[in-house]
Amino acid sequence: MEESVIQQHLTHYKQATEMAREELAVLQTKYNQLQSQLLESQSKIASQEEIMKNLKDAADRHKEKEASQESLISSLRERNYNTEQEMLSITSSKSFMDMRIQTLTKENEEIKGKIMELDIKSKQYFAECNKAKQEATETQRRSDEFISALANKVSVNVAGKADPMDYIISVVDACLKDRDHLKNCICALEESVKLYEVECKASRETVKRLATDVEHEQSLSASRVNELNSSRQVSYRSIMQLNNT
């Protein structure tokens, strides 16, 4: 009996659960539909807001355009008024304008004369410039020939040198330095030769003095030899006389 009641309760609960699930599914479907409608409504509202913003911007631009057109119309009216005033002024001052035209015509003629004069001077300057260029070219050619001749004269190879003249000057400067060095060496040698000559002269004088002394000694020796021979002869004679007696 209790099991039957429990079974009935379980069946009732199952049915209630199924009904709740079905209702939940229905509610979920309605919720999804409402969510979709909400998103669609929000999208429409955003689109309408964008349209309203664009319309507002268009209205603002239209207002600015109207203000600009009004300002332009006002400016055109002012310019029209100023033009009318200028026309009146021009009409009333025709004689002044005629005088001004004559003055401008005269100034124009003077300017034309100055232009012709400047054109003549420009041609002269152009001719002088061409002449100067030709002279510069000729001078450069002569300079190159002179440098080449000078290089050949001093036996210097200037091929490939950026500044041949500067290179030649440096070579000549080095040669001059070598010449000065050789001059100094020659001067030193000349001084040495002079000292040697002085020493040789002193040596010759010493030799002469020694030769004189030797000759004097030789004379003395010869005199002494003669005296010795004379003494020997005297002694020999004395001995001979003693022997004879």
User: At 162, is the secondary structure helix, strand, or coil?
Assistant: coil
Residue 235's pLDDT band (boundaries 50, 70, 90)? low
Q: What is the dihedral of CA 99, 105, 110, 111, to 10 degrees?
A: 120
Q: pTM of the entire structure?
A: 0.32
Residue 236's pLDDT band (boundaries 50, 70, 90)? low
Residue 136's pLDDT band (boundaries 50, 70, 90)? confident
Alpha-carbon distance of 114 to 108, in angstroms, equals 10
Tens-digit pLDDT profile for residues 118-131:
888 878 878 887 88
Residue 238 has a pLDDT of 67
Tens-digit pLDDT profile for residues 174-218:
878 888 888 888 888 888 888 877 877 877 787 788 778 777 777
Residue 2 pLDDT exceeds 60: no
CB 29: neighbour CB atoms within 10 A? 10
Residue 9 has a pLDDT of 65
Residue 41's pLDDT band (boundaries 50, 70, 90)? low
More confident residue, 46 or 188: 188
Structure tokens belonging to residue 145: 């020939």
Between the alpha carbon of residue 221 and those of residues 156, 213, 215, 217, 224, the distances in Å are: 74, 12, 9, 6, 5
Residue 19 has a pLDDT of 78
Between the alpha carbon of residue 216 and those of residues 81, 115, 210, 220, 221, the distances in Å are: 148, 115, 10, 6, 8
